[in-house]
Amino acid sequence: GKNYSASDTAREFLINQTYAKTLGFSQAADAVGVYLTWDNKKMLVTGVLADFHQKSLHQKIKPLALGSWDLINNVFTVTLPPKNADGSNWKTAIAKIEKAWKQIYPEEDFDYHFLDESIAQSYRAEQHIASLLKWATGLAVLISCLGLLGLVIFTTNQRTKEIGVRKVLGASVAQIVTILSKDFLWLVMVAFVIATPVAWYALNQWLQNFAYRTPINLWLFLLAGIVMFLAALLTISLQTFKAASANPANSLRTE
């Protein structure tokens, strides 16, 4: 199709693909040349646009018709040049636009918005949630690691003599670290198995707020599990290596 002709009286429309499908056309191009009724007038469809999001991704793309009728326009779109270092060129341009607006519409308020800010406003809640989750996740990981470290310290202190006996009998540092670590790593694995379906359910429920959703990939959970396992292993190894490297004579002195 082609673009509509600029006019102060609406005579032609551009419609999107969704509108063409709503009208019953399987091929969008077939809608070109069709007349639509709007405000008791016959409007010629001169072209079909590819679907684009008019609002946030929370909502499905709806049928859309675009036309030119200057007499009822109340919103104008202006493209500004690239912003300079101090932003003075934008301030100057906006001031000139406001002055021209007041000359033509002296009784109307001049209000303007930037397109990127309008788009960002649609996802303000998600941005706040993301920021909150970053802090909450970091705090949860820190508390978990501290708790795990405390449990490891307590356990190694309880098994000091056992570690000394194993070293005297020829166990290597690596063997002792493995023996001490495996029980804790099993706990981490159990926590991962429990947390994964809960996280999947919560994520899936959150995605229901969007009309267009990305699939939940398994690799996200596998990556999270690997990171969790490595963080736990690092936390555990700090204390178990220290305990395994200690002189067994110190722990067996009282035996």
At residue 8, the pLDDT reads: 47
Note whether 236 and 181 are within 8 A (CB).
yes
Question: Which residues on adjacent β-strands are paired with residue 14?
Answer: 47, 66
- Report domain extents, the chain: 1-74, 82-112, 116-250
pTM above 0.85, yes or no: no
Q: What pLDDT score does 194 carry?
A: 92
Cα of first residue to Cα of last residue in the chain, in angstroms, is: 94
- Between CA 80 and CA 97 the distance in angstroms is 11
Residues in the chain: 255
Strands (E), the chain: 12-16, 35-38, 41-49, 65-66
**β-bridge partners, 102:** none
Cα–Cα dist 220/192, whole Å: 13
Cα distance between residue 55 and residue 61, in whole Å: 8
CA–CA separation, 106 and 99 (whole Å) = 10
| Alpha-carbon distances of 178 from 128, 212, 241, 250, 251, rounded to whole Å | 42, 47, 10, 22, 20
10-residue mean pLDDT profile of the chain (255 residues): values are 60 85 86 82 85 82 77 68 82 89 85 82 83 89 86 80 76 78 84 91 88 86 89 82 70 56
Per DSSP bridges, beta strands 35-38 and 41-49 are: antiparallel
Q: What pLDDT is stored for residue 201 in this prediction? A: 92
